A and B are shown apart, each in its own frame.
Chain A
Amino acid sequence: MSARASTGSRPGGQGRFAQFKLVLLGESAVGKSSLVLRFVKDQFDDYRESTIGAAFLTQTIALDDHTTVKFEIWDTAGQERYKSLAPMYYRNANCAVVVYDITQASSLDKAKAWVKELQRQANENIIIALAGNKLDLVTEHPDKRVVSTVDAEAYAREAGLLFFETSAKTAENVRELFTAIARKLPLEQAGARNLRSNPRPGVDLRPEAPGTQGAGACNC
């Protein structure tokens, strides 16, 4: 079966290049889209309405001189708000960031429910990271914190998750979060499984696609 995760030689360079699908999960307004926007564009928007127009972004991380990881990042597009996420969203996800807001207790319960669902439904090698977001809010007003670092960390350890407290606003720990995920992804295994330069098998529908004739065979 085809996997999204694919590795190959980096075009024009040496070393390993792997692409992975990453999905975001978590209660509405915890900052999922803001974390992605920070990671991909290094921007933050205080008055961000719910996700509009951008729910599919890519960002590349160079782990070292030889290894590049490209994330294909899927945002929920708000479909989680009324529990209407489509199976397409999870399909073949290699890693997930489950986000909660450290100033909202209920958002951690929601996050735990998502982790459970992932562990039940996703492929067993999925890498899950837990992100306690809006860290900046408690730096100024420590009394705003309702989820303690120690508690969340203990839960993450028990459930086998990576754990970071982040701020999409100040960028604190955002890059660290994604880098930690990249380091944990099974580069070797993915490489052994399907080494190919074109991460997308199948036919290319774009009218301008060159050489479509005869394409389509997945040579893996």
Chain B
Amino acid sequence: MDEIAPEYDVVVLGTGLTECVLSGVLSVKGKKVLHIDRNDHYGGEAASVNIEALFKKYGNYANGEEPWKKYGRVNDWNIDLVPKLLMSNGELTNILVSTDVTRYLEFKQIAGSYVQQGNGTRATVAKVPSDAGEALRSPLMGLFEKRRAKRFLEWVGAFKEDDPASYGGLNLNVCTMKEVYDKYGLEATTRDFIGHAMALYQTDEYINQKGAAKETVQRIRLYVNSMARYGKSPYIYPLYGLGELPQGFARLSAIYGGTYMLNTTIDEITYDGSKVSGIKATMRERGDESEGMKFSTKTKKILGDPSYFPGKVQIVGHLLKAICILTHPVPNTDNSDSAQLIIPQSQVGRRNDIYIAIVSSAHNVCPKGYYIAIVSTIAEGSSNHHLELQPGFDRLGRIEEKFMGPAIPLYEPLESGMNDNIFISKSYDATSHFETTTDDVRDIYRRAEGQELVVEGLREGTNLVGEE
């Protein structure tokens, strides 16, 4: 085995998406990176696992049984642990393209984007209208409301941040979204699907927040423009599951000299005064009885996910999640092979939205005939979590298998990292996309490197790659 270098510019702990994007970008920019994970696989919390691994993770079967056997070849399954989709015009897509990581991945559209209106037996599910024309055809609104919604969406479509004339007489920098909705005379149910299924807010806090109107308009524009890109929905998804994303960025990092070590536990983080100075660690494969390979190396910076720093993070909420295996498309989604369905909080008497992300064999994540639906929300109580997700289960029809563990704590770092040079990421939140993940990537980069992350032009140095 080769020697580990005596010093690295950055040591990265955990191979989740946030960490892998950072390590890829830092390597391309010439930093010497050592990237470690305690697990034997890439992806950490953002991995995709096969069905045997999923049963074993949740332990929902009797001793001696092997329930995964009735689901075909275990390796035909790549089940995401984090339910998210990529906005086709979003920042992660931009980073993927700028770094050429798209070479290693193939993407497909998510076939539809749906929203629920009403509750219980009166619940209806309909496509989220994405432009003025669709608004006019949408069953979500009555005749006059359709026209008002059309006017609103036309205004959003013409909005230009640097052209106050396009603000429509509103001072978007200070006004609330309520004032905007009022101006267009939109009904409560319309506000609900615009705010939750297009701007993708998970609560109603944005409505009365001063100055939030501009951000709301920008979020709706991201949705509309992502939608316009490929046509069916604003979302795309990588074949073989989201776990391919961290692997792709890890490969980018490795190509630019990053060193990768899985199966490696951190024994100690060493400090020089208040600042980090290095790590001591042990690499040992599973099942290996020996002591493993012990090593130490110096570094002035560590980046990592919260699980590596239990003393330096706090819990900011709990995520509820249930992974469901179906043998049919989700009802009322036009037999789509994939979809997102949002249940806005107010429709079912909650404070947080319920999300359902659906993928299938069309994305090489399961054998033909199966669908994987992940229902998730932010926990509002400390028990009966199953009931909190019930409105989501009600949408799914017959469920073959349900995997639901205890509420998942969401962590954030206590400090910025300026004091100890340890820069910690946030847990993957409850949003349905990766926009907050890339916000975190940018934030960590700014804190750790003291400058803004610019990804544009990153691939220009890669003239060694062959013709394509």
Q: Measuring CB to CB, which residues of chain A are less than 8 angstroms from any residue of chain B?
A: 1-2, 28, 40-41, 50-59, 73, 77-79, 81-84, 86-89, 91, 200-203, 205-207, 212-216, 218
Q: List 24 A-B contacts (CB under 8 A).
A: A50-B257, A53-B256, A53-B461, A53-B462, A55-B251, A56-B466, A58-B466, A78-B260, A79-B250, A79-B251, A82-B1, A86-B250, A87-B247, A88-B104, A88-B248, A89-B251, A201-B108, A203-B236, A205-B93, A207-B97, A213-B229, A216-B108, A216-B230, A216-B232
Q: Report B-chain residues with C-beta under 8 Å of the C-beta of A206.
A: 97, 102
Specify which of B1, B103, B106 is in contact with A56 (CB 8 Å cutoff): B103
Q: Report A-chain residues with C-beta under 8 Å of the C-beta of B41.
A: 87
Residue B416 interfacial (CB < 8 Å): no
How far apart sit A213 and B228, CA to CA, in the bound complex (Å)?
7
Report the minimal beta-carbon distance from A205 to chain B, rounded to whole angstroms: 5
* A203 touching B88, Cβ below 8 Å: yes
How far apart sit A56 and B466, CA to CA, in the bound complex (Å)?
7
How far apart sit A212 and B89, CA to CA, in the bound complex (Å)?
12
A interface secondary structure, majority: loop
* A88 touching B251, Cβ below 8 Å: yes
Residue B272 interfacial (CB < 8 Å): no
| Given A78-B257, A200-B106; 13 other pairs, CB 8 A cutoff | A28-B2, A55-B251, A56-B255, A78-B254, A79-B250, A82-B259, A86-B250, A87-B247, A89-B251, A205-B96, A206-B97, A216-B108, A218-B108
* A202 touching B106, Cβ below 8 Å: yes
Q: Which residues of B206-242 are within 8 A (CB) of A?
A: 228-232, 236, 239-240
Report the minimal beta-carbon distance from A6 to chain B, rounded to whole angstroms: 12
B interface secondary structure, majority: mixed
Q: Report B-chain residues with C-beta under 8 Å of the C-beta of A78.
A: 254, 257, 259-260
How far apart sit A51 and B158, CA to CA, in the bound complex (Å)?
48
How far apart sit A28 and B259, CA to CA, in the bound complex (Å)?
13
Specify which of A41, A83, A87, A213 is in contact with B231 (CB 8 Å cutoff): A213
Residue B443 interfacial (CB < 8 Å): no
How far apart sit A52 and B257, CA to CA, in the bound complex (Å)?
6
Contacts A86-B247, A202-B108 given; indicate if A79 touches B260 (C-beta within 8 A).
yes
How far apart sit A79 and B261, CA to CA, in the bound complex (Å)?
8
Chain B, residues 88-108, CB within 8 Å of chain A (1/0): the string is 100001001100001110111
* A91 touching B260, Cβ below 8 Å: no
How far apart sit A128 and B108, CA to CA, in the bound complex (Å)?
31
* A84 touching B261, Cβ below 8 Å: yes
* A203 touching B107, Cβ below 8 Å: yes
* A213 touching B106, Cβ below 8 Å: no
Report the minimal beta-carbon distance from A99 to chain B, rounded to whole angstroms: 17
Q: Indicate the member of A1, A40, A53, A82 with the most B CB atoms within 10 Å.
A: A82
Q: Report B-chain residues with C-beta under 8 Å of the C-beta of A203.
A: 88, 107-109, 230, 236
Q: Which residues of B280-334 are within 8 A (CB) of A?
A: 283, 285
Residue B465 interfacial (CB < 8 Å): yes
* A82 touching B230, Cβ below 8 Å: no
* A205 touching B262, Cβ below 8 Å: no
A82's closest neighbor in chain B, by CB? Answer: B261
Specify which of B250, B255, B283, B466 is in contact with A52 (CB 8 Å cutoff): B255
Contacts A52-B255, A52-B256, A205-B97 given; indicate if A82 touches B231 (C-beta within 8 A).
no
Residue B467 interfacial (CB < 8 Å): yes
* B466 touching A214, Cβ below 8 Å: no
Q: Report B-chain residues with C-beta under 8 Å of the C-beta of A214.
A: 230-231
How far apart sit A14 and B251, CA to CA, in the bound complex (Å)?
36
How far apart sit A83 and B286, CA to CA, in the bound complex (Å)?
12
Q: Report B-chain residues with C-beta under 8 Å of the C-beta of A87.
A: 41-42, 247
Q: Report A-chain residues with C-beta under 8 Å of the C-beta of B461.
A: 53
Report the minimal beta-carbon distance from A204 to chain B, rounded to whole angstroms: 8
Q: Report B-chain residues with C-beta under 8 Å of the C-beta of A56.
A: 103-104, 255, 465-466
* B104 touching A213, Cβ below 8 Å: no
* A57 touching B230, Cβ below 8 Å: no
* B262 touching A82, Cβ below 8 Å: yes
A201's closest neighbor in chain B, by CB? Answer: B106
* A77 touching B255, Cβ below 8 Å: yes
Residue B192 interfacial (CB < 8 Å): no
Q: Report A-chain residues with C-beta under 8 Å of the C-beta of B251.
A: 55, 77, 79, 86, 88-89
Q: Report B-chain residues with C-beta under 8 Å of the C-beta of A91.
A: 240
How far apart sit A77 and B252, CA to CA, in the bound complex (Å)?
9
Q: Indicate the member of A77, A84, A91, A213 with the most B CB atoms within 10 Å.
A: A84
* B239 touching A2, Cβ below 8 Å: yes
Report the minimal beta-carbon distance from A116 to chain B, rounded to whole angstroms: 16
Residue B353 interfacial (CB < 8 Å): no
* B247 touching A83, Cβ below 8 Å: no
Specify which of B232, B255, B462 is in contact with A51 (CB 8 Å cutoff): B255
How far apart sit A207 and B96, CA to CA, in the bound complex (Å)?
11
Report the minimal beta-carbon distance from B162 to chain A, rounded to whole angstroms: 20
B463's closest neighbor in chain A, by CB? Answer: A53
* B255 touching A54, Cβ below 8 Å: yes
Residue B244 interfacial (CB < 8 Å): yes
Residue B387 interfacial (CB < 8 Å): no
Report the minimal beta-carbon distance from B293 to chain A, rounded to whole angstroms: 9
Q: Report B-chain residues with C-beta under 8 Å of the C-beta of A50.
A: 257
